Amino acid sequence: MKINSSEKGQALIIIALAAVVLFGFAALAIDGSMVFSDKRHAQNAADTAALAGALAFSRGNDVSAAAQTRATSNGYDNGAMNDVTVTVTDVPSGECPANTTGKDIKVDIVSYVNTTFARVIGRTQFTNAVTATSRACASYMGPTFDGSAIVSLAPSGVGYDGSGTPDWNITGGGIFSNSSSSSAATCAGSATITVPSVKVVGNTDFTCASVNIGSTTRGASQYSYADVASLFPSQPACNGTATYSGGQWHPQAGADGSRATFTGHSNPVFAPGLYCITDSPGPYHDEISGSEVTFYMMNSNFSLKFSGGGNLNASAPTSGDYKGILFYLAPQTDGNGNLLQTQELDLQGNGNGDVTGTIYAPSADVVMFGNSGTGAYNCQVIAYTVESGGNADITIAYQANRNYQVSKPITLSMLK
């Protein structure tokens, strides 16, 4: 007796298996794409929510509410299909600029994606989990030009020239030259230079007797006048008239700058205040002294050259609109808004006294004659060009908190 076997049932098994495989590929293609798309969208939502929280901190608004609102606007509303968690913590001490206060805003989003084809293989839902962290640091008062003690704004030529015989000893800040020339910052002869850093747009040429530079940066970005104009203090109205009595100048009460002169009185002393200097003495043999004073030079061709027994013994205001400004020479520009070099300022400090405050002279050639004694310049010198003169050593002990500072903006950043 012959028995014939049947293979009809095998086809059904193969078809069933093939269907499962096909549904698996469909699940991978369709459901997988849905999951991947949701994860990318959730990550974008977490990023923007974290940044929205940082922006809210900068504006003094509710950080958590701002982050949650932004997540909701992107479809993640803490509903049945997603969980949104906003965590706000203080920035660890020392991690914000100038050790200001700040907040770290962390946004975690967990989303659930229902499947279509993957149900065939037993997966009804996938879970995505993403996180983003932003940081917001408060604004603060800080020095201009990254805290450089010597700043030359000349776009070409020798910006800083430390040549000659003096010893330059600069602490608290470095040298910056805005010149794109190969000799943007130089020294030659028997001079010596000790400075924490030198930063130039072009190149350096230091061939003097001794060079002790902590770090050198070449090829820095060049500033135009428009780039730095906002860093300058406002120019006073000079609507008052100073009076001279009791051996010193006195400002007019309530005036935005009182007009006065350096000449006309021997060794003039200035009471605290803002003075608009109307003359241009050129060579000067007297001592200018005062505390809590700002001198604004009005003359577009201003020239002051201390010589003989002439010297400066003065300090800038410690409060008010001109806090930290000792000398301010009005910037001069051409028709295209470029800085011009039209002024001269030769600085010579009192031998045993400190000269404190920023020298803002963007259109001047500033010549440093140093201090013949134990005194120092606690100054930030911002000029068109800066060079050395005479034989006295030049000691600059720059302290940012005793010089002019500007408001630094709130910083927002993504950490993760």
Check residue 27 and give its pLDDT: 47
Look at the chain and count its residues.
416
pLDDT of residue 154 exceeding 70 = yes
Q: Which CA distances in Å does 312 have to 49, 213, 259, 284?
A: 56, 28, 19, 11
Mean pLDDT of 8-20: 55
Mean pLDDT of 163-175: 94
Domain boundary residue, one of 93, 109, 138: 138
- Dihedral over alpha carbons 30, 33, 35, 37 (to 10 degrees): -140
In-domain check, residue 179: yes
Domain boundary residue, one of 105, 138, 171: 138
290 and 384 within one domain: yes
**Secondary structure (3-state) at 289:** strand
171 and 125 within one domain: no
Of 198-207, 223-232, 305-314, the range with the lowest mean pLDDT is 305-314
156 and 117 within one domain: no
243 and 265 within one domain: yes
Range with the largest mean pLDDT of 58-62, 151-155, 411-415: 151-155
pLDDT of residue 300 exceeding 70 = yes
In-domain check, residue 21: yes
pLDDT of residue 122 exceeding 80 = no
347-401: pLDDT as tens digits: 887 666 678 999 999 999 999 987 666 668 999 999 999 999 878 889 999 999 9
In-domain check, residue 227: yes
Q: Which residues contact 17 (CB under 8 A, 6 or more apart)?
A: none
296 and 403 within one domain: yes
pLDDT of residue 19 exceeding 70 = no
Domain boundary residue, one of 97, 121, 138: 138
In-domain check, residue 4: no
In-domain check, residue 414: no
Distance from C-alpha of 287 to C-alpha of 305, rounded to nearest angstrom? 12
68 and 31 within one domain: yes
Mean pLDDT of 110-130: 77
Burial status of residue 406 (CB atoms within 10 A of its CB: 0-12, 13-18, 19 or more): middle
Instruction: Please state the separation of Cα 109 from the chain's center in Å.
Output: 35
Mean pLDDT score across all residues of the chain: 89
Check residue 10 and give its pLDDT: 63
Of 122-131, 237-246, 317-326, the range with the lowest mean pLDDT is 122-131
170 and 23 within one domain: no
Distance from C-alpha of 404 to C-alpha of 88, rounded to nearest angstrom? 34
| Residues 13, 19, 21: CA angle, nearest 5 degrees | 105
Is residue 97 very low, low, confident or very high in pLDDT (cuts 50, 70, 90)?
A: confident
Distance from C-alpha of 309 to C-alpha of 306, rounded to nearest angstrom? 8
306 and 226 within one domain: yes
Distance from C-alpha of 194 to C-alpha of 263, rounded to nearest angstrom? 36
Q: Which domain holds residue 198?
A: 144-408
232 and 259 within one domain: yes
Q: For the chain, give the percent of residues with pLDDT over 70.
A: 88
167 and 93 within one domain: no
167 and 77 within one domain: no
In-domain check, residue 83: yes
In-domain check, residue 1: no
Distance from C-alpha of 172 to C-alpha of 169, rounded to nearest angstrom? 10
329 and 309 within one domain: yes
Distance from C-alpha of 107 to C-alpha of 102, rounded to nearest angstrom? 16
pTM equals: 0.77
In-domain check, residue 413: no
Q: Are 182 and 200 in contact (CB under 8 A)?
A: no
The dihedral built from the CA positions of residue 301, 328, 174 and 409, taken in this order, carries a sign that is negative
Copy the structure tokens of residue 359.
């020298």
Q: Are 164 and 189 in contact (CB under 8 A)?
A: yes
Domain count, the chain: 2
